[in-house]
């Protein structure tokens, strides 16, 4: 009863708790919304004033009850100081950002301190748990005290002049007060010290276990690296060989991000702690105590930084973060997204325009006033960028399509040295494109627009529109408005939508940005229609894969850790009567005597890069693969002997038959599939049994005049001649994009292909491809300086307004003739 009276009547106690709650609420504001960096110090001053006020209220009050509970008031002050220290850390970074787990630990420990006044009324078990947490707190704050040790020599004399340096000693003060508090509370039962010691030992053992596992993984990486160095880079790059032999898990990712994301100690730099040497994708730097301890007490990773970044790109979805940056984008956020979509269900085509506004939260007086906005857009399979706009001085300036080399040179020159207004979009493997916008000036915004032509995905009797989403400046607080409409006169109606249906032909949505959503339409079949341009006519036909008779004398197994033991055994039972091959640095024949040894070795690989060029007789072979969704891309292998051999020897005419088990494929396989290097089927082991039993396999017949779009279930035909256009111009754009990929596949296999003709085709259809990019420059003089000229005989930038049929020259002649005749008739009537 006395305790309850003390708590309810002690204004210093509940006043301190109220101060903590208020301080926490204010501290959370920058976590919940974007706050300009020049306001962080003002937030800190608020926290510091609360502490000073509370301190002096206690100091000038001599009430006996205050003295009795002084240790609890001191705990309140320490918690307030801890909050203030982390608020100051936003302005004067010492710790870098804390990981979520450590923030939760600190909150739990502070709650345990604050509630210590209730200790006498707690059940026995809760009391022991409380002492365990005091032991954990002792270890945590001892670590932080040691971490801040280099600053003590500066902070002690600074106390005489600047009270701010008091924050340096907060962890040390927590350690001292913890000992006094534990001593006071354990007077009634000395066994509480056992729980206190248990907390210390448990924390110590956990850290030892973490460091041991960390060190084991570091040694594995180093062992793989030295082994790869000994074997040389005659085939695959060193980093690929290392990546194949390490686990793809969170700890390995943390090891690779050490000194990129994680702040680690540096003993040779005046005993101060080092900051990461590279700003990795503008990601916030992190101070993780476990990572820090692990790097101090275990060996260093021998893998060079560039190779670690390559592994992060290919294995941990870090391609966007690893993009080269000429300027920082750390203070940029995406504020507004506007999505407008036109869908032609009768053509299985959609055109999407994404208009984005990016804002720079740096203050105008900041020394680095400009930022570079970099986005990675994820397109549906077969999608292609067909327009780009950048708003310059309030006016929309459309992009010009040129070669990738010219666009890159222009952008890097202007951004790197002249610092004026460009934007550029580049094709990337894996159905992605990168968009760069510069400059985004401090306290201002920039707007750009990207247009994407893509096939609708066919699933049974439905057509699916997949939203185009992006990585880039934080969009967690962005607002989005969406409008999707059916543009043709087909009878397809919207069946399922994450949006609000206005009519059967239109859906809309406004609210917070959502990256992934779909809209489904009923598939009423293709309408007979075509699009004509520049002497060619483009038309659509339904496509359904056709299987033909096939010979399977040789079976190649592409095995990695995605295969289960059951997968291997079932497949082996089906193929053991054939010639079976695997690749483990070289092709090896598999038999009942060596299969277990070979398969066990291959299952240790986290991914595989099967050398399809080593399939000696594709016409009588099948490759069976299973994989996850991560691997190096073709471009990652540039300069390697493996890729050179692949390009020189793979046969994209007499194509390899590839059965992909499961519903995933690696970027490596998807890239080769896009370039038409396979006859390809997704399936399972039941399908494999059917194919082998019936000696059949799908065969895609494509020519220079006929392109298959598998995801949409259509083929696009091109033929000479002119006709009235009844289909949207996107039909030609999709044909050109897929035809370019087909031609590049031939070029990679050393077949005679005219690169000039490929670029010309991209310019004519205005599609971004491996050889072409869209770029927006500030003035015509800039275009002239870099020899970037707009093609006069092209479709130009796609748009929502003119994406329908475009009259051919012959049609224009008829229109002009009819118009002239009409004017003559009117003129003659007036004369009469």
pLDDT in tens, 567-580: 999 999 999 999 99
The whole-angstrom separation of Cα 247 and Cα 502 is 49
What integer pLDDT is reported at residue 827 of this predicted model?
A: 47
What integer pLDDT is reported at residue 770 of this predicted model?
A: 93
Length of the chain: 832
DSSP state of 265: B
The CA distances from residue 661 to 550, 559, 601, in Å, are 19, 11, 20
What integer pLDDT is reported at residue 832 of this predicted model?
A: 45
What integer pLDDT is reported at residue 7 of this predicted model?
A: 60
Collapsing DSSP states into helix, strand and coil, what is residue 113?
A: helix
What integer pLDDT is reported at residue 504 of this predicted model?
A: 74
Task: Report the chain's C-alpha Rg in angstroms.
Answer: 33
Interhelix angle for 730-748 vs 667-674, to 10°?
Answer: 110
| Of 489, 512, 468, nearest in space to 350 by CA | 468
Q: Which two tokens stand for residue 497?
A: 């939508």
Phi and psi, residue 439, nearest 5°: -90, 155
| Of 422, 435, 339, nearest in space to 385 by CA | 435
Q: Is 342 exposed, middle or buried (0-12, 13-18, 19+ CB in 10 A)?
A: buried
What integer pLDDT is reported at residue 272 of this predicted model?
A: 45
The whole-angstrom separation of Cα 601 and Cα 560 is 9
Dihedral (C-alpha) 295, 296, 298, 300: value to the nearest 10 degrees? 60
| Of 259, 295, 264, 265, nearest in space to 279 by CA | 259
Dihedral (C-alpha) 627, 630, 634, 638: value to the nearest 10 degrees? -130
259: left (phi over 0), alpha (psi -120 to 50) or beta: left
The whole-angstrom separation of Cα 373 and Cα 422 is 11
The whole-angstrom separation of Cα 737 and Cα 386 is 10
Residues 6+ apart with CB under 8 A from 111: none
- Pair 606, 641: CB distance under 8 Å: no
Q: What angle do CA 394, 395, 399 make, to 5 degrees?
A: 130
What integer pLDDT is reported at residue 275 of this predicted model?
A: 44
Question: Other CB atoms closer than 10 Å to residue 247's CB: what's the count?
Answer: 14
What integer pLDDT is reported at residue 184 of this predicted model?
A: 92
How distant is the alpha carbon of residue 751 from its chain centre? 35
Question: Other CB atoms closer than 10 Å to residue 177's CB: what's the count?
Answer: 18
Question: Other CB atoms closer than 10 Å to residue 538's CB: what's the count?
Answer: 24
How distant is the alpha carbon of residue 159 from its chain centre? 45
Q: E-assigned strands of 33-98?
A: none
Phi and psi, residue 567, nearest 5°: -60, -50
For the chain, the first-to-last Cα distance in angstroms comes to 113
Q: Tell whether omega for the bond before 489 is within 30 degrees of 0, i.e. cis.
A: no
The number of C-alpha atoms within 13 Å of 58 and in the hemisphere containing its C-beta is 25
- Pair 530, 538: CB distance under 8 Å: yes
Q: What angle do CA 802, 805, 806 make, to 5 degrees?
A: 80
Interhelix angle for 170-185 vs 70-91, to 10°?
Answer: 160
Low-confidence ranges of the chain (pLDDT < 70): 1-9, 62-68, 158-163, 233-234, 265-282, 365-368, 419, 490-501, 653, 747-754, 802-832
pTM surpassing 0.75? yes
Q: Which two tokens stand for residue 355?
A: 């208009």
Dihedral (C-alpha) 317, 476, 104, 211: value to the nearest 10 degrees? 10
The whole-angstrom separation of Cα 180 and Cα 185 is 9
Q: Which two tokens stand for residue 793?
A: 């005989």
Residue with tokens 């666009």: 407
What integer pLDDT is reported at residue 58 of this predicted model?
A: 81
752: left (phi over 0), alpha (psi -120 to 50) or beta: beta
| Of 754, 758, 755, nearest in space to 736 by CA | 758
The whole-angstrom separation of Cα 560 and Cα 595 is 14
Residues 6+ apart with CB under 8 A from 812: none
């Amino acid at each position: 009863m006395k305790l309850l009276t003390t708590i309810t009547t002690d204004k210093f106690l509940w006043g301190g708790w109220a101060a903590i709650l208020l301080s926490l609420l204010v501290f959370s504001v920058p976590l919940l919304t974007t706050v300009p960096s020049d306001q962080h110090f003002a937030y800190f001053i608020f926290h510091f004033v609360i502490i000073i006020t509370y301190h002096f209220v206690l100091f000038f009050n001599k009430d006996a009850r205050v003295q009795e509970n002084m240790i609890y008031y001191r705990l309140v002050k320490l918690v307030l100081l801890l909050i203030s220290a982390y608020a100051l850390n936003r302005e004067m970074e010492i710790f870098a950002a804390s990981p979520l787990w450590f923030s939760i630990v600190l909150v739990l420990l502070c709650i345990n301190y604050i509630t210590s006044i209730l200790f006498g009324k707690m059940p026995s078990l809760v009391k022991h748990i409380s002492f365990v947490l005091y032991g954990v707190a002792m270890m945590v704050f001892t670590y932080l005290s040691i971490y801040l040790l280099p600053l003590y020599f500066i902070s002690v004399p600074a106390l005489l002049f600047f009270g701010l340096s008091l924050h340096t000693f907060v962890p040390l003060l927590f350690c001292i007060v913890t000992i006094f508090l534990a001593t006071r509370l354990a007077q009634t039962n000395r066994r509480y010290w056992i729980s206190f010691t248990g907390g210390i030992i448990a924390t110590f053992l956990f850290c030892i276990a973490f460091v041991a596992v960390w060190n084991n993984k570091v040694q594995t990486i180093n062992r793989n690296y030295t082994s790869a160095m000994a074997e040389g880079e005659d085939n695959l790059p060193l980093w690929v060989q290392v990546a194949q032999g390490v686990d793809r898990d969170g700890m390995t990712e943390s090891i690779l991000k050490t000194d990129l994301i994680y702040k680690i100690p540096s003993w040779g730099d005046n005993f101060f702690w080092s900051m990461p040497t590279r700003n990795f994708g503008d990601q916030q730097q992190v101070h993780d105590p476990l990572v820090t301890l692990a790097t101090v007490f275990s060996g260093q990773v021998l893998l060079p930084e560039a190779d670690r970044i390559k592994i992060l790109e290919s294995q941990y979805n870090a391609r966007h973060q690893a993009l080269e940056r000429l300027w920082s984008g750390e203070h940029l956020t995406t504020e507004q997204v506007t999505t407008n979509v036109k869908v032609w269900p009768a053509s299985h085509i959609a055109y999407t325009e994404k208009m984005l506004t990016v804002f720079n939260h740096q203050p105008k007086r900041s020394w680095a006033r400009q930022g570079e906005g970099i986005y990675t857009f994820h397109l549906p399979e077969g999608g292609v960028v067909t327009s780009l706009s950048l708003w310059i001085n309030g006016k929309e300036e459309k992009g010009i399509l040129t070669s990738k080399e010219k666009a890159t040179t222009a952008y890097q020159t202007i951004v790197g040295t002249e610092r004026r207004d460009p934007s550029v979009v580049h094709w990337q493997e894996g159905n992605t494109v990168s968009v760069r916008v510069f400059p985004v000036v401090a306290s201002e915004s920039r707007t750009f627009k990207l247009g994407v032509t893509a096939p609708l995905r066919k699933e049974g009797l439905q057509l699916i529109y997949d939203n185009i989403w992006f990585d880039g400046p934080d969009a967690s607080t962005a607002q989005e408005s969406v409008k999707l409409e059916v543009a043709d006169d087909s009878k397809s109606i919207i069946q399922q939508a994450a949006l609000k249906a206005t009519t059967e032909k239109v859906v809309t949505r406004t609210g917070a940005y959502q990256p992934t959503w779909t809209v489904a339409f009923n598939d009423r079949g293709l309408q007979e229609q075509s699009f004509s341009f520049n002497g060619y006519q483009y038309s659509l036909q339904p496509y359904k894969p056709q299987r033909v008779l096939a010979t399977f004398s040789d079976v190649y197994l592409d095995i990695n850790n995605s295969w289960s033991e059951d997968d291997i055994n079932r497949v082996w039972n089906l193929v053991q009567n054939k010639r079976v091959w695997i690749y483990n640095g070289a092709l090896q024949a598999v038999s009942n005597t060596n299969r277990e040894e070979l398969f066990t070795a291959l299952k240790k690989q986290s991914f595989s890069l099967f050398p399809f060029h080593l399939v000696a007789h594709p016409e009588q072979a099948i490759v069976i693969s299973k994989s996850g969704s991560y691997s190096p891309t073709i471009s990652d292998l540039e300069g390697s002997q493996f890729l050179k051999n692949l390009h020189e020897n793979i046969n994209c005419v007499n194509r390899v038959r590839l059965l992909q088990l499961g519903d995933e494929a690696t970027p490596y396989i998807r890239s080769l599939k896009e370039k038409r290097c396979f006859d390809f089927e997704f399936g399972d082991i039941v399908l494999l049994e059917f194919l082998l039993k019936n000696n059949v396999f799908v065969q895609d017949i494509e020519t220079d005049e006929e392109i298959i779009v598998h995801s949409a279930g259509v083929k696009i035909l091109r033929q000479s001649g002119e006709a009235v256009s009844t289909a949207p111009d996107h039909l030609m754009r999709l044909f050109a994009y897929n035809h370019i990929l087909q031609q590049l596949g031939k070029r990679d296999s050393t077949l005679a292909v005219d690169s000039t003709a490929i670029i010309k085709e991209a310019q004519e259809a205005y599609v971004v491809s491996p050889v072409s990019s869209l770029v927006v420059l500030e003035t015509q003089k800039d275009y002239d300086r870099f020899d970037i000229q707009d093609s006069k005989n092209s479709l130009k930038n796609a748009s929502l307004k003119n994406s329908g049929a475009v009259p051919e020259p012959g049609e224009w002649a008829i229109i002009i003739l009819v118009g002239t005749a009409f004017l003559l008739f009117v003129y003659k009537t007036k004369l009469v």
